[in-house]
Structure 1
Amino acid sequence: MNIIIVAGGPEEKHPDFSCFPIDDSVWVGVDRGVYLLLKKGIKPSYAFGDFDSLDSREREWISSYELPLFEYDSEKDKTDLELALEWALAEQPEGITLLGATGGRLDHELANIQLLLLGLERSVPIEIRDIQNSISLKAPGTYEAVNEPEYPYHSFLPFNGPVKGLSLSGFKYPLEQQYLPMGSTLCISNELVNKSGTYSFSDGILMFIKSHD
């Protein structure tokens, strides 16, 4: 089972929902993300939020669908997305995709990227996707990177401390056992030269970003 969570980020930043397996995934709406899903003709299996980003007419329209609803007060210690993500992780899915988590307020965007840590802690892959980027966090190990036309650029950033022993093979700019400190831009905008390549590292947490201009 895969869970796709749609948050309330700007609609113009969303990827094409038809790229995702609509019928084979559990779709979850968060706050304004519920409204955006219904506008796309996708009825979410669950809805989370305080819905303070919706006007009364939009809320009335959503209520006509009689969705399973987890509603919260606007004053709370966790964001609506974090609450929805905690629920999704408890379902023990194969993976989770977050949409609508970027492109709006910077504080929310940075906090949403940090929520990817919850997936590492539970050993559940979480990916943030928008119209231009794919963002994920990786624990030490060896991984394959595949050449995808929609994502020609691959970037590697240390997340919450230095990354040690980073090696890149099959890339335009290969590396061997590189130390990558916080603040380094060494590994921005690399490109695969083959159909696939590998990246590996021995210590730290690595942010892997696939993107296009």
Structure 2
Amino acid sequence: MIINILAGGPEDLLPDLTEYREESAIWIGVDRGVYYLLKRDIKPLIAFGDFDSVSQEELTLIEGHVGELKRYKPEKNETDMELALNWALGQNPSIVRLFGATGGRLDHLFANVQLLYNPLKANKSAAIYLIDRHNTVFLKEPGTYNIKKNLAEKYISFVPLTLNVTNLTLEGFKFPLKNRHISLGSTLCISNELISDYGTFSFSEGILIVIRSND
């Protein structure tokens, strides 16, 4: 099962959502993201939010087109995106994609990046991606991984989420590494590129943020 979640970040940073409209995919709207979906003729299965970022006219449209609308007070312990993601993970999906989660307020951006950790914390097997027009972001636990060249996102960066990431090895990259330790705050692994159709990266401890980007 694939679940796509669209939040209310700046609309100009959204990718072309038609690329993600698999027949089996379930769409969830978060706050103003529900309106963005309806504008694109995508009907979300369920919607979450306090809806303080939509006009009364837009809210009326949302209420008329979404069957299950979960409304919350602005004063709550979780963000709207976290509430939607927790629901999504409860459906045991194989993939979750987060859109509309970057740009605008930096507190929302950092919170949404940290939400990528939730499946690992909950021992869920779902692969979760944060996607905008210029970036795809995901987390990896220790292991060895293949990564494919993609000219649309030619830059690949590795950023530690934990205090340390140990024995990081990069093969098939313009700037290779061998058993290198990187710590929180390091910029050593920013803006690397693949020189082969495929590369590999591996590490033995820590959690990595992997960012695939274009200009």
Using the size of structure 1 for normalisation, the TM-score is: 0.98
Provide the C-alpha distance between the structure 1 equivalents of 2:60 and 2:149, rounded to a whole number of angstroms: 45
* Amino acid across the alignment from 1:173: F
Aligned-partner SS, 1:64: helix
CA contact (8 A) 1:120 1:138 kept: no
> For residue 115 of structure 1, what is the aligned residue in structure 2?
115
**Could you tell which deviates more after superposition, 19-28 or 39-48?**
19-28
Which of the numbers 200, 203, 206 marks the counterpart of 1:201? 203
Give 1:67's aligned residue. Answer: 67
Q: 1:128 aligns with which of 116, 123, 130?
A: 130
2:9 matches 1:9? yes
Unaligned runs of 5+ in 1: none
Change (3 A) 1:181 1:53: same
Structure 1 residue 160: deviation in Å? 2.4
Please state how far the C-alpha of 1:22 moved relative to its aligned partner: 3.8
What is the SS of the residue equivalent to 2:209? strand
What corresponds to 2:49 in structure 1?
A: 49
In 2, distance between residues paired with 1:155 and 1:75? 36
Deviations 1:24-64 (A, max 9, x none): 20000000000000001111111111111111111011111
What SS class does the counterpart of residue 150 from structure 1 fall into? helix
Give the distance between the partners of 1:15 and 1:192, measured in 2 at CA.
23
Aligned counterpart in structure 2 of residue 141 of structure 1, from 129, 136, 143: 143
Contact 2:44 2:66 in 1 (8 A): no
Q: Which residue of 1 aligns with 2:38?
A: 38
**CA RMSD after TM alignment:** 0.9
Percent pairwise identity: 50
Q: CA deviation at 1:74?
A: 1.4
Q: Deviations over 1:114-150 (max 9, x none)?
A: 0011022223211000000000011000111100111
C-alpha distance in 2 between matches for 1:100 and 1:67:
22
Cα shift at 1:65: 1.1
Matched residue, 1:161? 163
- Change over 3 Å in CA distance of 1:171–1:66 after alignment to 2: closer
Shift >4 Å, 4+ stretches: none
* Aligned counterparts, 1:165-180, within 5 A: 165-180=167-182
TM-score of the superposition, structure 2-length normalised?
Answer: 0.97
* 1:19 paired to 2:19: yes
The SS at the match of 1:107 is helix
